[in-house]
Amino acid sequence: MYVRETMADLKMMLFILLFAAAMAASEAQSLAGCLNKCGDVDIPYPFGVGVQPGTSRNCFLDETFQLTCDKSTLFLKDLPVSNIFLQEGQIDISMHISRVCFDRSGVVLDQSISNFYTGGAFTISSGKNTIISLGCDTLSFAYFPDHNLSYSGGCVTLCDTPPPKETNPNTCSGSGCCQVNNIPIGKKNYSLAVSTFNNHTKVLAFNNCSYSFLAKQGWFNFSLDYLHYFPFDMAPFSLDWTISNSTYACKSNSYCMDSKVGAGFNCKCKLGFEGNPYHPDGCHDVDECSRPNNCSIPKQCYNFVGGYSCSCPPHYKGDGYTNGTGCTKDHRRSMYKWVVIIIALGCSVGLLVVIAVVLSVGWADKQKSLKDLRKRNFEQNGGCVLLGQLSQKEGYTERTKIFKEVQLINATNNFHQSRVIGTGGQCIVYKGILPNNTPVAIKKAKVGDDPRQIRDFISEVAVLSQINHKNVVRLLGCCLETKIPLLVYEFVDNGTLLDHINPTKTTSPISWEARLKIATETAEAISYLHSVTSIPIVHRDIKFANILLDCNYKAKVSDFGASRLVPLDNSDVCTVVQGTFGYLDPEYLHTGQLNEKSDVYSFGVVLMELLTASKVVEFNRQGKVNLATHFESSMKANRLREILDKWVLDEKNGEEMEEVALLAMRCISVKREERPTMKEVAKELDLIANKAR
C-alpha cells in the first residue's frame, strides 16, 4: 500500500514539474519570427533582438528592452544576461568584480573598481542581491548615488592569520569574508571600491588580494581556498525592470501592477489565465480540468474562461471540492420521490412553455425596436440622401460601401479597447478585420444633431468616395445605422511619419532619399485634392501625425475630419479656425478665410520637419517657439546647415536639402499669393528627386 502511494506521489510530482516547465515555455514567447533563445537563455517579449523578418517592426517593446546575441551569449548593452524572469520582472546580468592585489613589498600589482549604471526601466534589485567582501585585509565600500538621496555602505574583514580549518567554509561572517544585505530600494547605479589597511603586508603569506562585488543572493559560497586564489572575474546580480507609465503594454486578459521598487509598472495575467501578458496575443485561458485541481472527482470538473467549477454526480451530495465537503453517496431517498419528480417535471414543462412564449414575444419586439432604431438613425444621418448622391456618380456605389452596424461590431470585437489604434479630440479609431480577413481602420466621428453638420457629413462622404489616389488613405465606406456615423478606411500598417522621425528621440532612421520620396508623394496627394477632384478639398490639418506610411514607406495622407470643400466659384471659404498650432497658416488664423494656400503653408512646415527632425513647437528654442520662425531666421542668417538633421546631411545631398529648404520658405510666405500651388510644389520636388537619382 505504501509503495503504491509513493509511486502515485512521484507521478504527481513529475506531472507538476512538466506542467511548470510548459508554463515557463509558454510565457517565454517572443514576437513571431524573432529570436526566442540565445544560448541557454530564453528571450520573452518585451525583450527582443533585432527586427521582425519581413517588416520594419522591432522585436522589442522599445530601446530599453533591446538585447544583442553574440556567439550564443545574450547581452544587455555590453553586459552578459543569464536569465530573464517575466513574472517577477527581473533580469540577471553579470558585472566585473572590484579587486586590488599587492606584491611582497606592498606595491599594487592590479586594481579595478566596478561601476554600473542601469538607466531606463531598470533598478538594482534590493531583495535579491548582497554586497560581498573577500580577503583578510579588506575594506569594501559601496556607493549608490541618486539625484535626491545617496546611500553608501560596506564592511571590513580582518585576519592576521589564516582562518582555522574548522571554520565553516560556507559562512561569510567576517573571518576572511563579510557581506551586506540591506541594498537600498530603487537605485539605478552604484560604484563599488575595495581597499586595505596594510596593503596585505601582514597576510601576504596566504592572501595578497582583496575583492568586492555585488552578487545575486545564493550564488556565492565562501571557501577558504578563495583567500589563496579567487577564480572569478565577474559575478551575476539581479535587476528589477518595469514598463514606463507612458507606454500601454498590458495585453488582453492581463492587468498592470505598479512597481514597489521604482517608477513604472509590470503586467500580470488575470486569475485563470496564463502566458506572456506583454505579448500582442495576451494571456490565454487555463484549462484547469486538464491539470491538478481541487475537484474530488476529476470527471466532474467543468472549465470556463477564467476558472473552473466542481460538482457531484447524480445521487451524490456535497460541493465537489477536496478542500470543501467533497462528494458522498446520498442515501436519503423516500418512497414518493418519483411522484415528486413527475409533478415537478410537469410544472417545469408548463412554466418553460410560458417563459418561451414570453421570451419569443419580447425578443421579436426587441428586434423590431432595434431595426426601427437603425432605420431612424440611417435616415437622420442622411443615408437616403447619400445613397442618392452615390448612385448618380458612376462607379462610386461599388467603391463606397454602406456597412451594417453588426458587420463593424464583429470586425472590432464589439469595439473592444484592445482594438483602439488612435484617439483624438473628434474621433476614436479602431482596427477591424472584415470577414475576408481584410484589415480596416474604423473611425467613430462625432457628428451632432445639427442638420447642417449632417449635411456637411453627407457631402464629405460623397466627395471622399470620389478620391482614388495611391497616396491618399482610401475611404471604403461608412455605417449610418448608429447614432454616431462610422467611417471605414483602408488600414495602413507602419504607423505615422511622426513615429519614424520623432524629434523627442535621438535617432532619425529614415534616409534622406526616403524623406524626399515621402515629401513628393504627399505633395502629389494634396495637389490631387486641390485640383483633380470635382470639388477642391482643403485638408486643413496637414502634419506629420496625419501622414501614414506602409511597409514600403509609401506616404498616405489621412484624417479628413477637419477637411472642407471649396466650391470652384469661391476661392475663399470663411470657417471657424481649426488645425494644429505650428502648422496653421497665419493669414487663415487672422482672417478665418480658408483656401488651398492654407494647405501649402502647412506642407511647408512638414518640409522643415523632414529637413531638421525638430519639433514644430519648442519653447526652449532660443525664443523661436515655432519651427517656421526658427527656420526662416536661420535661413536669413545663412545658418541653414546648422539646423539640418545631422543623421542625413552629407556632401552628396547638401545641395538637394538646400533646394528643398528654399521651396519650404516659399510655401510659408506670409502673403498667400506669393506661395506656389501644390501642383507646382509637387513638380519641383519631383525634379529635385530625379536629380538625386
My answer on whether 139 and 154 are in the same domain is yes
Cα gap 201→224, rounded to integer Å = 19
Which CATH number does the domain housing residue 395 bear? 3.30.200.20
pLDDT at 302: 94
Q: Mean pLDDT over residues 130-149, rounded? A: 84
Boundary-marking domain end, from 490, 510, 541: 490
Instruction: Name the band, by pLDDT with cuts 50, 70 and 90, for residue 24.
Output: very low
* 252 within domain boundaries: no
Same domain, 390 and 423: yes
Specify the higher pLDDT residue, 591 or 658.
658
Predicted pLDDT of residue 147: 65
More confident position, 252 or 651? 252
Is the pLDDT at 458 greater than 70? The verdict is no
Across residues 503-513, what is the average pLDDT?
75
For residue 97, give the amino acid letter.
I
pLDDT for residue 429: 87
Q: What pLDDT score was predicted for residue 675?
A: 93
Strands (DSSP E) contained in 48-188 are 48-49, 66-70, 73-76, 79-85, 90-96, 98-102, 108-112, 114-117, 122-124, 129-134, 137-144, 151-158, 177-180
Kindly state whether residues 569 and 685 are assigned to the same domain.
yes
Residue 459 has pLDDT above 70, yes or no: no
Q: Indicate whether 354 belongs to any domain.
A: no
- Domain shared by 574 and 641, yes or no: yes
Q: Among 437, 458, 490, identify where a domain stops.
A: 490
Residue pLDDT, tens place only, 274-299: 999 999 999 999 999 999 999 999 99
Average pLDDT, the chain: 83
SS3 at position 508: coil
| Res 428: pLDDT | 84
Closest CA to 92 of 40, 32, 143, 140: 40
The answer on 585 and 485 residing in a single domain is: no
Per-residue pLDDT reduced to its tens digit, 342-401: 888 888 888 999 899 888 888 887 777 777 676 777 766 666 666 665 555 554 445 678
Which three-class secondary structure state does DSSP give residue 143?
strand
Instruction: For residue 264, tell me if it sits in a domain.
Output: no
Compare 511 and 580 and report the one with higher pLDDT. 511
Distances (CA, A) of 161 to 202, 203, 295: 9, 7, 63
The number of domains in the chain is 3
Residue 356 placed within a domain? no
pLDDT in tens, 625-635: 888 989 999 99
Q: Could you tell me if residue 127 is inside a domain?
A: yes
Same-domain pairing of 477 and 568: no
- Tell me if 521 is assigned to some domain: yes
CA-CA distance, 670 to 591, in Å (whole number)? 13
Mean pLDDT value across residues 219-223: 90
The per-residue pLDDT for range 50-75, each reduced to its tens digit, is 999 989 999 999 998 999 999 999 99
Buried b (16+ CB within 10 A) or exposed e, 232-269: eeebbbbbbbbbeeeeebbbbbbebeebebbebbbbbb
**Mean pLDDT of the region 12-16:** 46
12: pLDDT confidence band, cut at 50, 70 and 90?
very low
Domain end among 490, 505, 523: 490
Catalytic site positions: 541
In a domain? residue 175: yes
Alpha helices by DSSP H, listed for 381-493, are: 383-391, 396-399, 405-411, 451-464
- Report, in angstroms and rounded to the nearest whole number, the Rg of the chain calculated over CA atoms: 35
| 325 found inside a domain | no
Residue 225 pLDDT more than 90? no
**Close Cβ partners of 251 (under 8 Å, ≥ 6 residues apart):** 267, 277, 278, 279, 280, 281, 282, 283, 418
Cell of 382: 442622411
Same domain (yes/no): 539, 643: yes
Query: Are 539 and 642 part of one and the same domain?
Result: yes
% of residues, the chain, pLDDT over 90: 37
What Cα–Cα distance (Å) separates residue 630 from each residue in 228, 444, 623, 643? 67, 37, 9, 9
Q: Minimal CA–CA distance to 223: which of 214, 241, 237, 211?
A: 211
State which residues form the domain around 234.
Answer: 90-241
What is the C-alpha separation between 575 and 577, in angstroms, rounded? 6
Do 111 and 173 have their domain in common? yes
What pLDDT, on a 0 to 100 scale, did the predictor assign at position 162?
Answer: 81
Segment (H or E) for 42: strand 41-42
Pair (480, 405) in one structural domain? yes
